[in-house]
């Protein structure tokens, strides 16, 4: 059956890899930047209209948000790897079944993640040394984020399914629309209705819900090859095994990494509310400027999945190598922008009555230390997502464990020596260790894939004789 080219989809198994990847990355990058605006706008509006303590509260829960949402969205993104491989292999009938299966699995994941978040939120905030002066603000924000997990999971699922067939533009359009809606709702809920940090979370939930609905409607109308038939709406054993085989390790990998960042946040919290607020503002800038790395990673997942489905391992290797060059150049640019934009960003977050000079040293320490080590961060995204696109689950998850233990070690040292720079080095320490791990793991895995491909070719040749 030939490839049925639909409007907006991209076959990444033909053509020069680098132009294909770059065309795919640009919409992803813009979309990821707008995704960052959700939390950034929450933080800016909360900081200006509620106060510095509320800003610190929103920031202090960022690691918990990453834990819960990372697990849910990691699973959902993993569920889209199988449809991408089936798209590369032109197996549209199987693709419909795996899409339906992914939706059903995402419903289960959303319900379980929401329940866990509600049950364990208070103990987790206490475990993180959350200061009393920001505790109520923090709980009010994060619990309402938990209530809206289903919207966030399903937007990420539908966006990943669209990317599986090479469409990165439609998710971008819906994300920009919902980002604008989020700004409006933030101002309405916080500045007009005086809902505090809860208002910021409610605005995020509604905006992500709109993104999810629009993405689903677009798939239904424009991509009939992705729309399941009536008989597909049930759990399929083989699809469940494969999707959980990739999705569960991806979700656990996010959860493991987030657990390390929770310990890092606990180390930051011992330095007080000023340090927490400064770290929050600095990490928002870092999060914004590093969005090129997950964008390249997402492109690699789709690129590698499609080419693996077609059996084009040489194209996989070429695309990964060229993506690493792009990632390294981006890392240098991002470091320069970090230095230039830090002070203006700090002034954006805090009201006119705030003493920026009290916050700036903490923020500068964290952002500059991180920026120096952006290249190892790029290694993680390129090689990890490439391995996930190839259908591997365990090895990428092990990389999350490497990050976890590196952050834990650094955070424990920081809490004992009580030096902020050591706490701020938790992220770079994790990136360096995990970057080395992924380079080695990818190299070994690719040798294994090529050897298996050669053995299969020799076996087929013998059978033809």
Helix (H), strand (E) at residue 358: helix 356-372
Per DSSP, the three-state class of 59 is: helix
- Which pLDDT belongs to residue 149? 92
Cβ neighbours, 10 Å, residue 52: 26
Digits of tens for pLDDT over the chain (465 positions)?
A: 344 444 446 678 888 999 999 988 988 888 788 777 666 777 778 877 888 788 778 877 877 887 877 787 778 778 888 888 888 788 888 899 999 999 999 999 899 989 999 999 999 898 888 888 889 999 999 999 999 999 988 988 998 888 888 887 888 888 888 888 988 998 999 988 888 889 989 998 999 899 899 999 999 998 888 899 999 999 998 888 988 888 888 788 778 887 888 889 889 989 988 898 889 889 888 988 999 999 999 899 889 988 988 888 999 999 999 999 999 999 999 999 999 999 888 887 776 566 788 889 999 999 999 999 999 999 999 999 999 888 887 888 889 899 999 999 999 999 999 999 999 999 999 999 999 999 999 999 999 988 988 877 777 767 766
Across the chain, mean pLDDT equals: 87
Cβ–Cβ < 8 Å for 83, 161: yes
Name every residue whose Cβ is closer than 8 Å to that of residue 378 and which is 6 or more positions away in sequence. 293, 296, 324, 327, 328, 330, 331
Give SS3 for 357. Answer: helix
Q: How far apart are CA 93 and CA 229, in angstroms?
A: 9
Token representation of residue 392: 């591997």
Q: Considering Cα of 355, then 284, then 112, then 216, what sign does the dihedral take? A: positive
Q: Quick check: 60 and 275 in contact, CB under 8 A?
A: no
pLDDT tens by residue, 12-21? 888 899 999 9
Q: Of 176, 225, 223, whose CA–CA distance to 38 is shortest?
A: 176
Q: Cβ(324)–Cβ(382) under 8 Å? A: yes
Q: How far apart are CA 284 and CA 39, in angstroms?
A: 8
State the Cα–Cα distance between residues 404 and 412, nearest whole angstrom.
Answer: 12
Helices 356-372 + 273-289 axis angle, to 10: 40
Q: In the numeric block, which tokens belong to residue 266?
A: 């606990």
By residue count, the chain amounts to 465
């Amino acid at each position: 059956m030939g490839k049925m080219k639909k409007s907006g989809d991209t076959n990444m198994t033909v053509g020069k890899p680098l132009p294909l990847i770059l065309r795919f990355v640009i919409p992803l990058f813009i979309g990821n930047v707008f995704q960052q605006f959700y939390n950034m706008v929450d933080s800016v509006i909360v900081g200006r209209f509620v106060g510095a303590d509320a800003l610190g509260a929103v920031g202090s829960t960022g690691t918990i948000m990453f834990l819960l949402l990372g697990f849910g969205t990691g699973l959902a993104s993993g569920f889209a790897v199988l449809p991408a491989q089936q798209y590369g292999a032109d197996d549209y009938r199987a693709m419909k079944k795996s899409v339906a299966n992914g939706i059903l699995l995402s419903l289960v994941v959303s319900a379980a993640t929401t329940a866990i978040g509600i049950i364990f939120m208070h103990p987790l905030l206490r475990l993180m040394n959350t200061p009393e002066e920001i505790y109520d603000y923090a709980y009010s924000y994060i619990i309402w984020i938990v209530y809206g997990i289903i919207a966030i999971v399903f937007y990420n699922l539908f966006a990943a399914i669209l990317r599986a067939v090479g469409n990165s533009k439609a998710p971008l359009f819906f994300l920009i629309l919902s980002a604008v809606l989020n700004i409006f709702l933030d101002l309405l809920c916080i500045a007009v209705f005086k809902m505090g940090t809860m208002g910021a979370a409610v605005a995020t939930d509604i905006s992500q819900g709109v993104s999810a609905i629009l993405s689903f409607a677009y798939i239904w109308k424009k991509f009939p090859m992705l729309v399941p038939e009536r008989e597909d709406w049930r759990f399929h054993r083989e699809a469940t095994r494969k999707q959980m085989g990739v999705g569960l390790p991806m979700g656990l990998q996010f959860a493991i990494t987030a657990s390390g960042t929770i310990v890092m946040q606990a180390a930051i919290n011992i330095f007080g509310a000023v340090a927490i607020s400064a770290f929050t503002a600095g990490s928002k800038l870092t999060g914004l400027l590093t969005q090129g790395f997950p964008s390249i990673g997402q492109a690699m997942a789709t690129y590698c999945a499609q080419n693996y489905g077609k059996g084009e391992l040489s194209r996989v290797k070429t695309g990964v190598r060229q993506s690493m060059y792009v990632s390294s150049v981006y890392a240098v640019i991002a470091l320069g922008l970090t230095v230039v934009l830090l002070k203006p960003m700090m002034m954006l977050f805090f009201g006119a009555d705030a003493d920026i000079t009290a916050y700036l040293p903490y923020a500068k320490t964290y952002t500059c230390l991180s920026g120096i080590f952006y290249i190892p961060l790029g290694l993680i995204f390129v090689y990890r997502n490439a391995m996930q696109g190839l259908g591997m689950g365990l090895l990428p998850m092990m990389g999350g464990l490497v990050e976890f233990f590196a952050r834990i070690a650094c955070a424990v040292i920081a809490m004992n020596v009580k030096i902020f720079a050591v706490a701020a080095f938790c992220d770079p320490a994790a990136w360096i260790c995990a970057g080395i791990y992924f380079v080695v793991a990818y190299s070994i895995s690719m040798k294994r894939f090529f050897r298996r491909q050669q053995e299969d070719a020799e076996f087929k040749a013998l059978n033809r004789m």
